[in-house]
């Protein structure tokens, strides 16, 4: 068994191996998981969690890397979590990310970690928040969560983040795609990357138009800004950081940050509880209680609903 208290204090001192070890423990649902989470609970909550999402190849990793540079210049410690819902591989950085994040590999103020969620019990909803909490407790001021994918995984990531950045690029038919996938609703900040290519202005205009078509905003409501970037050259990155800081300030001013985190906590507790219940229910085959109830239902002395109620009570009443 790992010495959790020792690992946590090392992680808070900035030891990258301790951080990596803690993430492995929570990700692999190790026996130490509960102790790790209990130790981290009072230590987390100060990081700004930023989700970065968008279609494959739009420039998420390049933008993430540029953001890391910008935040490091501002003296912030940064955690990066690259989540790939389609990959069964975890641990090291993905090959492409390793290349694009390479310049940060030796920076002690940056932690980079990739995470696969396929085949994970509870998937993204279960594993990402716990890894985020490790990075937060380890003293990261900013945690960038990059996720590739469409639809559900993007929406799930948005639910984990304080601020969601949606990336688009010109000439990918992204505008229409975004509207379809419900991405317009999750974006707090929109970035049109690859602005060195033709069509960036048109994409930004189209997006602006679509955002404007949404329901009327009241005074004090957040109007998601659209920032054009050339992430490959770091152009526009300062404006993105500015938009992110503004969004955080706006959330704090309007109580939205607390609201989002409360919602997230409720969802996390629910996911863990449902997973635990599902595990117990999956264990029921051959369970004596089920057998006895089944006999009564088959014999007509008990209806199936009452039997199910009894069974659920039996499952939740014990520890």
Ligand X SMILES: Nc1nc2c(ncn2[C@@H]2O[C@H](COP(=O)(O)OP(=O)(O)OP(=O)(O)O)[C@@H](O)[C@H]2O)c(=O)[nH]1
CA-to-CA distance for 256 and 9, rounded, in angstroms?
Answer: 31
CA-to-CA distance for 130 and 24, rounded, in angstroms?
Answer: 10
Q: Which residue lies nearer to Mg ion by CB, 10 or 117?
A: 117
Query: In this structure, are residues 297 and 303 in contact, taking their beta carbons and an 8 Å threshold?
Result: yes
Separate counts of helices (H) and strands (E) for the chain: 14, 7
Binding mask 216-235 vs ligand X (x if CB under 6 A, - otherwise)?
Answer: --------------xxx---
Name which position in 57, 151, 212, 291 contacts ligand X (CB under 6 A): 57
Q: Which long-range contacts (CB under 8 A, 24 or more apart) does 8-12 make?
A: 8/36, 8/39, 8/40, 8/43, 8/137, 11/134, 11/137, 11/138, 11/139, 12/43, 12/137, 12/138, 12/139
Least separation in angstroms between CB 62 and Mg ion: 8
Q: Which of residues 171-230 bind Mg ion (CB under 5 A)?
A: none
Q: Which residue lies nearer to ligand X by CB, 95 or 216?
A: 95
For position 196 contacting ligand X by CB under 6 A, the verdict is: yes
For position 193 contacting ligand X by CB under 6 A, the verdict is: yes
Least separation in angstroms between CB 46 and ligand X: 27
Least separation in angstroms between CB 277 and Mg ion: 35
Least separation in angstroms between CB 98 and Mg ion: 11
For position 58 contacting ligand X by CB under 6 A, the verdict is: yes
Least separation in angstroms between CB 83 and ligand X: 10
How many C-beta neighbours within 10 Å does residue 103 have? 12
Which residues have C-beta within 8 Å of that of residue 72, sequence separation ≥ 6? Answer: 78, 104, 107, 109, 110
Name which position in 40, 50, 53, 59 contacts ligand X (CB under 6 A): 59
CA-to-CA distance for 183 and 177, rounded, in angstroms?
Answer: 8
Binding mask 115-144 vs ligand X (x if CB under 6 A, - otherwise)?
Answer: ------------------------------
Residue 204 interacting entry, from ligand X, Mg ion, none, C-beta within 5 to 8 Å by type? none
For position 60 contacting Mg ion by CB under 5 A, the verdict is: yes
Instruction: Kindly state the number of chain residues that form the binding site for ligand X, as judged by CB under 6 A.
Output: 17
Least separation in angstroms between CB 232 and ligand X: 4
Name which position in 10, 55, 61, 114 contacts Mg ion (CB under 5 A): 61
Residue 139 interacting entry, from ligand X, Mg ion, none, C-beta within 5 to 8 Å by type? none
Query: In this structure, are residues 4 and 36 in contact, taking their beta carbons and an 8 Å threshold?
Result: yes
Nearest partner of 211 among 193, 229, 192, 195, judged by Cα: 192
Candidates 52-60, 69-77, 184-192, 248-256; binding stretch for ligand X (CB under 6 A) = 52-60
For position 60 contacting ligand X by CB under 6 A, the verdict is: yes
For position 36 contacting ligand X by CB under 6 A, the verdict is: no
DSSP-assigned states of every residue in 80-115: EEEEETT----BS--HHHHHHHGGGTT-TTEEEEEE
Nearest partner of 251 among 182, 131, 134, 161, judged by Cα: 161
CA-to-CA distance for 152 and 246, rounded, in angstroms?
Answer: 27
Which residues contact ligand X by CB under 6 A? 56-62, 96, 100, 148, 193-194, 196-197, 230-232
- Give the binding site for Mg ion (CB under 5 A): 60-61
């Amino acid at each position: 068994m790992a010495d959790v208290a020792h690992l946590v204090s090392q992680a808070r001192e900035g030891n990258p191996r301790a951080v990596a070890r803690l993430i492995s423990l929570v990700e692999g649902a190790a026996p130490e998981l509960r102790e790790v989470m209990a130790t981290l609970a009072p230590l987390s909550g100060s990081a700004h969690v930023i989700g970065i999402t968008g279609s494959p190849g739009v420039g998420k990793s390049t933008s993430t890397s540029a953001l890391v540079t910008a935040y490091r210049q501002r003296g912030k410690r940064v955690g990066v979590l690259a989540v790939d819902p389609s990959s069964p591989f975890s641990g090291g950085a993905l090959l492409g990310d390793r290349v694009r994040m390479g310049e940060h590999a030796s920076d002690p103020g940056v932690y980079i970690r990739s995470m696969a969620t396929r085949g994970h019990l509870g998937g993204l909803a279960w594993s990402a928040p716990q890894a985020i909490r490790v990075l937060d407790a380890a003293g990261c001021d900013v945690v960038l969560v990059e996720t590739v994918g469409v639809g559900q995984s993007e929406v799930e990531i948005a639910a984990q983040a304080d601020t969601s950045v949606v990336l688009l690029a010109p000439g990918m038919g992204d505008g229409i795609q975004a509207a379809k996938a419900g991405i317009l609703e999750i974006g707090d900040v929109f970035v049109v990357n690859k602005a060195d290519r033709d069509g960036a202005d048109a994409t930004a205009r189209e997006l602006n138009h679509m955002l404007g078509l949404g329901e009327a905003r009241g005074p004090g409501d957040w109007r998601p800004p659209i920032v054009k970037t050339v992430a490959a050259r770091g152009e526009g990155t300062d404006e993105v950081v500015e938009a992110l800081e503004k969004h955080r300030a706006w959330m704090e001013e309007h109580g939205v940050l607390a609201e989002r985190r409360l919602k997230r906590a409720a969802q996390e507790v629910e996911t863990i509880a449902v997973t635990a219940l599902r595990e117990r229910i999956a264990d029921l085959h051959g369970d004596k209680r089920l057998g006895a109830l089944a006999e009564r239902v088959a014999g007509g002395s008990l209806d199936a609903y009452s039997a199910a109620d009894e069974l659920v009570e039996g499952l939740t009443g014990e520890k």
